[in-house]
């Protein structure tokens, strides 16, 4: 079985400042990794995914994440946030060789961007 | 495509009543998932289907919960009888088969917010 830990439940940040959201996972097998964003009163949207290849993955809205296999981490970053980035962010994993498309999500990190 | 469509968006009901949540997945997607989101427990997978067949229902909390997928374009999640602790946002998501898409990217609906009084 796999699990995902998002170390920060809330991250306040000023507009135009950088932000990093931490995600660590535990799995005995190789995994795919994802970041989803949930804006208030909406469903989850895919920000980016890591399947293979380059460990630095770029997503939508200026976000990027880096896969670190030795540290089993997949931290999300943005160099300069906007007010519109206020949302909850979820890290998720799925086993590469498992049948089915099941995702396991972390507990989420709420980002509050202040003017 | 209109995306994953869920109804109702909001439901307020009284304890003991039956609740039915509906989902229309993206056309051509092979997988359908039901998740529940609460402050205390985060996002929990309740059940998922592959080609209309339930594959894993180990997340269904108890016998009061049931889910069906009678065809490729429709699924329901039913709670009978409902209890206040069932209050949550219920999300439906769908995805294509990994063999076709390369990875299991889920597309979520906007959710159904359930309040049981």
Which positions 52-81 of B are in contact with A (Cβ < 8 Å)? 55-56
3-class DSSP assignment, residue A8: coil
Q: Which residue has the higher pLDDT, A1 or B49?
A: B49
| Helix (H) / strand (E) containing B75 | strand B74-79
Q: What percent of chain A has pLDDT over 90?
A: 74
Output the CA–CA distances (angstroms, integers) from residue A46 to A38, A90, B70, B83, in the order listed.
9, 9, 28, 32
Q: Is A34 on the interface with B (CB under 8 A)?
A: yes
pLDDT above 80 (res A36)? yes
pLDDT above 70 (res A100)? no
Q: Is A46 on the interface with B (CB under 8 A)?
A: yes
Summarize the confidence of residues A23-51 as an average pLDDT: 91
pLDDT above 70 (res A76)? yes
Under an 8 A CB cutoff, do B104 and A108 touch? no
Q: What is the pLDDT of residue B101?
A: 65
Write the pLDDT tens digit of every residue in A81-96.
999 999 999 999 988 7
d(CA B76, CA B3): 17
Q: What is the mean pLDDT of each run of 10 residues along chain B (117 residues)?
A: 91 97 95 93 92 92 94 96 96 85 82 96
d(CA A111, CA A47): 14
Q: What is the pLDDT of residue A29?
A: 82
pLDDT above 80 (res A98)? no
Q: What is the pLDDT of residue A1?
A: 74
Q: What is the pLDDT of residue A75?
A: 97
Chain A residues with CB under 8 Å of B106 CB are: 44, 46, 101, 103
């Amino acid at each position: 079985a796999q699990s995902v830990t998002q170390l920060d439940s809330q991250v306040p940040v000023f507009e135009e400042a950088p932000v990093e959201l931490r995600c660590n996972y535990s799995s005995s097998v190789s995994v795919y990794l994802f970041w989803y964003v949930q804006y208030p009163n909406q469903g989850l949207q895919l920000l980016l995914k890591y399947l293979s290849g380059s460990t630095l993955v770029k997503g939508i809205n200026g976000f990027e994440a880096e896969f670190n296999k030795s540290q089993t981490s997949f931290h999300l970053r943005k160099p300069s946030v906007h007010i519109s980035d206020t949302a909850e962010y979820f890290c998720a994993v799925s086993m590469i060789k498992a049948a089915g498309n099941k995702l396991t999500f972390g507990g989420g990190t709420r980002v509050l961007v202040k003017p | 495509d209109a995306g994953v469509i869920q109804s109702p968006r909001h439901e307020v009901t009284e304890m003991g009543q039956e609740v039915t949540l509906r989902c229309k997945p993206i056309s051509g997607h092979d997988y359908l998932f039901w998740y529940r989101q609460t402050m205390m427990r985060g996002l929990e997978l309740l059940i998922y289907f592959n080609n209309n067949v339930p594959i894993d229902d180990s997340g269904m909390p108890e016998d009061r919960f049931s889910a069906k997928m009678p065809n490729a374009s429709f699924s329901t999640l039913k709670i009978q009888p409902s209890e206040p602790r069932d209050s949550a946002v219920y999300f439906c998501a769908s995805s294509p088969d990994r063999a076709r898409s390369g990875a299991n990217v889920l597309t979520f609906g906007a959710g159904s917010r359930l309040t049981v009084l």
